[in-house]
Amino acid sequence: MHTRFNVIVTHEPPWYVAKCVDNQVASQGRGVEEAVANLREALTLYYEDENEAELAAEASTAFLTTVEVSLP
């Protein structure tokens, strides 16, 4: 079974950090590709005992937006 997750990658020198916004699983790597590959492995381990019905029940839709804030 294949499932899509929403992921944000940030650069926190010297690491790139990949965070899954659907479940807060995170991983890191020396580059974006390595961080995402490590996150893919972490997600596989995180869900290894879940069945398809449980995983579908957890599925969510995320929306990305920006917020403007007035700072002093």
Domains of the chain by range and CATH? Answer: 7-58 (3.30.160)
Name residues whose C-beta falls within 8 Å of residue 33's C-beta, 6 or more positions apart in sequence: none
For the record, the structure tokens of 46 come out as 């995180």
pLDDT at residue 51, as a whole number? 76
Give the phi and the psi of residue 4 in degrees, each rounded to 5. Answer: -100, 140
Beta strands in the chain (DSSP E): 7-12, 15-20, 26-29
Confirm whether pTM is higher than 0.75.
Answer: yes
Asked whether 36 and 29 are in contact (CB, 8 A), the reply is yes
The pLDDT tens digits for 39-67 are 999 999 998 887 776 776 666 667 788 99
The pLDDT tens digits for 9-38 are 999 999 999 999 888 899 999 999 999 999
pLDDT at residue 4, as a whole number? 85
Alpha helices in the chain (DSSP H): 32-46, 52-58
